[in-house]
Amino acid sequence: MSTSALHHRTPPTTPRVALVTGGSGGIGRAVVERLARDGYAVAVHYAGNRNAATELADRIVADGGRAIAVGGDVADEAEMTEVFDAVASAFGGIDVVVHTAGIMILAPIQSMDLDAFDRLHRTNVRGTFVVDQLAAARVREGGAIINFSTTVTRTSFPNYGAYAASKAAVEGLTLVLARELRGRDVTVNAVAPGPTATPLFLDGKDDAAVAALARAVPLERLGQPDDIAETVAFLAGPGRWVNGQVLFANGGLA
């Protein structure tokens, strides 16, 4: 057998299964739609918007795909165990977990309400830990775990202190888990979007602030959810030699 054959992974012959947390809206919704187009069976996870998740799953099924809606608090290990169980029961296993679910609360560090800080970190840090813990135990050989960080861990914009801290923790978890899964043929990476036109990003910003952020990007526009979904699709599928990395999908924003 040649050296190249020894290191070439045979493509899967059965449809792959993806669980997308926060899949009912924003970037998560774009990821679900892209993976469904790529032939994945998709589980659309929601925390509160059951109707949007169900509508998306039903539309994918109507278009000839395979999809279900699953709900749960990402920071609650019992609820998320039920989510993983439901996906495995419906589709026979899990190959890809894309963890887009998160919240953003902005305030100066000096005046940040600590109850809000705790709520932010419960969802973004504990939620990522819970999902990654379950994914590490469930994702099949040849699979991928994809977390979500943010470019603000590098740009350090004012008012983003608590949010950036939560996402820096996500990056740390991602890099460690990639190394803990040595020998499993499971990649673990994080995507760090820049300013992207989603309700989470646009909420509370006036037109001037949005325009200024768009101008700050060398490509001179905001990202779109589909831009981020392209990066996720690469990591979920062909990007098998990318592991233990944070990919900044931000149009060049430094």
Active-site annotation holder among 40, 46, 160, 163: 163
123-163 tens-digit pLDDT = 999 999 999 999 999 999 999 999 999 999 999 999 999 99
Helix (H/G/I), strand (E/B), else coil: 243: coil
Q: Give the closest residue to 191 by CA, choosing from 212, 221, 170, 218.
A: 170
Measured distance CA(166)–CA(149) in Å, rounded: 9
* Domain boundaries defined on the chain: 15-195+225-247
Which tokens hold the place of 33? 């739609």
Active site residue 40: no
Which tokens hold the place of 148? 């979500």
CB 43 within 8 A of CB 20: yes
8-56 tens-digit pLDDT = 444 455 689 999 999 999 999 999 999 999 999 999 999 999 999 999 9
In the Cβ-directed half-sphere of 104, how many Cα atoms lie within 13 Å?
A: 18
**Of 3.30.379.10, 3.90.550.10, 3.40.50.720, 1.10.1040.10, which CATH number belongs to 15-195+225-247?**
3.40.50.720
In the Cβ-directed half-sphere of 69, how many Cα atoms lie within 13 Å?
A: 20
